[in-house]
A and B are shown apart, each in its own frame.
Chain A
């Protein structure tokens, strides 16, 4: 089910000296009878930014917590550098974690929060203060060191949590949806900050999110997980442009890929009232046709692969989103912002044959041998 590729080396070009390779093999965990993570294998290069992406409850946070040592693995192993940490206590793993809730210590000041990892390691006061100041400057908190977390805004709290993670120069950063508590504008800003900082520090990072935009923008590689199983592992471009299965195709993109269920029979795809010529091996099977909203365009009736009724037209600012109704199923098409169409009129829909994907409806797997032939 997964497209495994060898982890590219030094994808960031700036891996720090202490950045370590993180290798996960055959990791599984279930809570009672409910499997959370099933046979997960990942190889994260030193300094790489890997995003675990999936819907809520897919097991991505459990996977991260196992890497952190907060959850025990049922089977499989976790290696950080050359050390097997599978059964090691969290504090010996040399990883730092940023929680979704930030988990700042409310009774400690910003400086005490940031310095806590050094304090429990017995670092002397002067050295600690110096390190805190240095890190605080990196995240622009140097004027807020005496405040308590309750006196900070969401973005500032987020930066305290980051500072507390980077002060230790850990072998790996683990981040559990660190931006999801921020409002949309701040999230975009912090996303850029985060990417810049990770690049500058060159620390191996595993980042969990359900937000595909975050995944696309931050990651060197994305691992898409559903129901505890790795669906696809690849660069953002790969998982978006070359989805391995129906789940990845339907999960990535906003709005997601248009999917039309049907059947391949006698070299033709029939479904949703449309028929398309298919190249590839013969035989008949249930199949699903997919194409991206931005690859398709609206044409005059009869001028596309099929005709459909305009259901609604929405101007989003940068573009116009046209939703058409094809036999009860809604398909989205992105058109330029000056496009307009009347509701309930018939229009044609066309897309480049090379940008259409075919999937096996039963298994969800991509039918790579088949392709839409230009008709």
Chain B
């Protein structure tokens, strides 16, 4: 403490006590900025490494590590040349596939997911447990009929739905146990608990049977479904944080539920929407396992291309891999910069505070 009675302060106080309000003590400054610098180096070095590797000749990579272009080694465009001039068809095809699949699946996922999240945040659902069980049982019976007795699937499903509807009408009132929004939310996130590797073969067979393997549509649908629980969970929380007064006011002003959602709720959830979009977009952009199974050549995405550089007969092509990684990062960085503008706080200011 800067006590006027004792002009000589101990060293610890001089180093680690702020000289004034709003200023940083010298010792604290060294520690804070030192650790930030260290962390930045830790984070940025891999990117720098990938960048210079993309300009190295194979010999510069395989002999010994070199760090500085024009000093340690002479940069060369051979890898860029190979991927974008000689072999450009494969590279650009994967690039465009990724550029089509990731945003479209994100769009689908966000629109369905945010509406589902809004419904869960604002409407209390009380489905009867027994009705769900009856539905599951009738579907299992239909499935058994198709597999064991070769019944036409359209007939089996129609009969199963009819039986379900009849049973629910007849028995539904007898059962009391029902589930709420909490259970529905948990059921959604439980879809992500299963390791993807467990479901990837059944998913492959499903798409095979509907003849969608190696198409954009297959990957768009698969990614949308896989990322849906994340969207619902994140957006559910954002919608809950919007004061309900605003929606009630809109209702009284004459807005329908959809107009309320579109005019009032969505604009206010924009920060959450932007953050969620970015997250889902990155997940879809970088997804590897499903892409590996569902695409062979036509719908191949960038992660597959990167992985392919690792397993050729020429060994690991570090230089080509680096080039692909660089061009893969760029769209995501641009997207993050664009969406960052919306991820700002304080959008609800002035809504209900007095």
Contacts and interface: CB of A to CB of B under 8 A. Distances in A.
A322 B97 CA distance: 85
Nearest to B251: A90
Contacts of B255: 91, 116, 120
A107 B268 contact: yes
A107 B267 contact: yes
Contact of A150 (B246, B252, B253, B349): B349
Interface string B38-58: 000000000000000000000
A104 interface: yes
Contacts of B352: 99, 101-104
Contacts of B248: 68, 70, 90, 97, 99, 103
B105 to A, nearest CB: 28
Interface residues of A, number: 32
Contacts of A182: 354
Interface in B234-263: 243, 245-246, 248-256, 259, 263
B248 to A, nearest CB: 5
Contacts of B250: 105, 116, 120
Nearest to B354: A181
Contacts of A106: 268, 347-351
Interface in A85-103: 89-91, 95-97, 99, 101-103
Contacts of A95: 252
B163 interface: no
B268 A91 contact: no
B251 A99 contact: no
Contacts of A68: 248, 252
A29 interface: no
Interface string A56-77: 0000000000001110000000
Contact of A70 (B251, B253, B267): B251
A271 B254 CA distance: 58
Contacts of B351: 101, 103-106, 149
Contacts of A149: 349-351
Most interface-central of B268, B350, B353 (chain A CB within 10 A): B350
Contacts of A103: 243, 245-246, 248-249, 351-352
Contacts of A181: 354
A368 B351 CA distance: 50
Interface centre among B252, B348, B351 (most CB of A within 10 A): B252
A104 B350 contact: yes
Nearest to A158: B354
A95 B251 CA distance: 11
B249 A151 contact: no
B162 to A, nearest CB: 33
A150 B348 CA distance: 9
B354 A101 contact: yes
A121 interface: yes
A309 to B, nearest CB: 43
B354 A148 contact: no
Contacts of B317: none
B245 A157 contact: no
B264 interface: yes
A101 B349 CA distance: 12
A91 B254 contact: yes
A152 interface: yes
Contacts of B354: 101-102, 154, 157, 181-182
A263 interface: no
A221 interface: no
B255 to A, nearest CB: 5
Contact of B254 (A101, A120, A152): A120
A1 B353 CA distance: 38
Contacts of A101: 243, 245, 351-354
A149 B347 CA distance: 11
B87 to A, nearest CB: 49
A190 B340 CA distance: 41
Nearest to B260: A120
A104 B347 CA distance: 12
A14 interface: no
A90 B350 contact: no
A164 interface: yes
Contacts of B249: 97, 99, 103, 105
B252 A148 contact: no
A117 B260 CA distance: 12
A152 B253 CA distance: 22
A95 B245 CA distance: 16
A342 B254 CA distance: 63
A168 B253 CA distance: 9
Most buried by A among B249, B352, B353: B249
A234 to B, nearest CB: 29
A116 B253 contact: yes
A14 B253 CA distance: 25
A7 B352 CA distance: 35
Contacts of B353: 101
A248 to B, nearest CB: 30
Contacts of A154: 354
Given A90-B248, A91-B251, A97-B248, 18 more contacts: A70-B252, A89-B251, A91-B256, A97-B249, A99-B248, A99-B249, A101-B354, A102-B352, A103-B249, A104-B352, A105-B249, A106-B349, A116-B255, A150-B349, A150-B350, A152-B350, A154-B354, A164-B253
18 contacts: A68-B248, A91-B253, A91-B254, A97-B252, A101-B352, A101-B353, A103-B352, A105-B264, A106-B348, A106-B350, A107-B267, A116-B253, A152-B350, A157-B354, A164-B253, A168-B253, A168-B254, A182-B354
In the A-B complex, the 8 residue pairs with the closest CB atoms: A181-B354, A150-B350, A149-B350, A101-B352, A103-B249, A103-B245, A150-B349, A117-B253
